[in-house]
Structure 1
Amino acid sequence: MVYVPSILFALLASYRDDNLPARVPYVFPAPGTDPVADALRARRPNNTLLDLDGVLNNNTIPGTMRELIILRSAVISNAAYIWIQHEPVARSEGLTTAQLQTIRFAPPFSGLTPGTTFHGTLAPELVAALNFADFSLSLVHIPDAVYNGLSEFLSDSQMVLATATVGFYALTARFVVGLNIDDKMGVPVPIPQ
């Protein structure tokens, strides 16, 4: 783990990056058009996005699928903090209360076959994303059938992004739980209402 002194973090967050090129295009949503970008702006001293944010905003996974993966990481890791932060984003992306309840209560690996009764609230692509997240988060090894099930709905580059999203939020869950961020370490993941 890399230790970033707080003074360095404050310095990095205090000014606008210089927009030097990256391997992928930057995406900077205009203020008021993207709740995640607006939340990031609100945390910054000068209300702007960093180049890193511009790269991360280039994620082309459908919003419902991205948020399902993030919320599933909260469930599998019992990271209430992540769920609390992302449930409103998931709702803004179009996930319903019934779908959120399925994401919250489905036992790991329960969606091995799309169309099962338990997953009646989720479209086939979201069942595939749930399966993918469960295997990646719980076992790391993703069977070919599960990987191929999600790749039916995503391009190769989106599969890379889905894998990165699962990995990033697995790390994030361990980080926020391990450090007891916002005193949520022992708090159960909320039940969607």
Structure 2
Amino acid sequence: MSAEHVRVPLVQPGTRAELAEVEARILAERGRVSLLYQVLLNSEPIASGWERLLTAVRQQTGVPASLRELIILRVAVLNGARFEFDAHVAHAEKAGVGARKIEAVWEPELSPLFDPTERLVLELADRMTRDIVVPDALMERLRAHFDSRGIVEVVATVAAYNMVSRLLVALNVSH
């Protein structure tokens, strides 16, 4: 990973005593302090809240890992966040998403490779990312498949990874 064009300084772990607690939480949850977190550590409150929110989204919801990772990949593609896409390919593979589906998230229209539930959450990702507004008809289809908690969790996943990818793009975090 190259950091030469990142628009803020990277905070090297262990260099600022006031960040020790948040760095310890990041290490405990993620196993390392990634380039993204080295950027976020410029603001302790943001890094801390970010870590808590994204840990909840990735590890504490009922969204199946394969759906979550497809959402993340699609949002990364739509927002031009190659760094995020590349960071999640291995997670998608581990969740059982095949190579053909991973490649298919790059297609402008949703591929017939995706099953109906995958297409549903990917359509949600497309609408929320491209149009912001989710049509009532799409929300009704989501209600037919997910309970209230599930809807909040898939919507929050799309929203959270729009936040991630847009921060990465704005601060030029890339390879």
TM-score calculated relative to the size of structure 2: 0.71
Could you tell me which residue of structure 2 aligns to residue 41 of structure 1? 31
Q: Could you tell me whether the CA contact under 8 Å between 1:125 and 1:150 is conserved in 2?
A: no
Could you tell me which residue of structure 2 aligns to residue 13 of structure 1? 22
Return the letter of the residue paired with 1:71: L
Q: Could you tell me whether the CA contact under 8 Å between 1:61 and 1:154 is conserved in 2?
A: no
Is the helix fraction higher in 1 or 2?
A: 2
Aligned to 1:168, the other structure's residue is in SS state: helix
Return the letter of the residue paired with 1:40: R
RMSD of aligned C-alpha atoms? 2.8
Q: Could you tell me whether the CA contact under 8 Å between 1:76 and 1:138 is conserved in 2?
A: yes
Could you tell me which residue of structure 2 aligns to residue 58 of structure 1? 60
Deviation at 1:168, TM superposition (A): 1.0
Aligned to 2:32, the other structure's residue is in SS state: helix
Tell me if 1:125 matches 2:125: no
Give distance in 1, aligned partners of 2:91 and 2:99.
13
Map 1:131-170 onto structure 2 (within 5 A).
131-170=123-162
Q: CA separation of 1:10/1:73 partners in 2, compared to 1, >3 Å: closer, same or farther?
A: same
Could you tell me which residue of structure 2 aligns to residue 69 of structure 1? 71
Give distance in 1, aligned partners of 2:18 and 2:80.
28
Aligned to 1:42, the other structure's residue is in SS state: coil
Deviation at 1:10, TM superposition (A): 2.0
Unaligned runs of 5+ in 2: 1-10, 35-47
Q: Could you tell me whether the CA contact under 8 Å between 2:29 and 2:55 is conserved in 1?
A: no
Q: CA separation of 1:85/1:122 partners in 2, compared to 1, >3 Å: closer, same or farther?
A: same
Structure with the bigger RCO (C-alpha within 8 Å, sep 6+) is 2
Q: Could you tell me whether the CA contact under 8 Å between 1:79 and 1:177 is conserved in 2?
A: yes
Give distance in 1, aligned partners of 2:66 and 2:28.
18
Give distance in 1, aligned partners of 2:69 and 2:143.
17
Moved over 3 A (4+): 6-9, 53-56
Unaligned runs of 5+ in 1: 1-5, 17-36, 45-49, 112-118, 184-193
Deviations 1:72-130 (A, max 9, x none): 1111101000101001101110111111122121x1xx34xxxxxxx221110000011
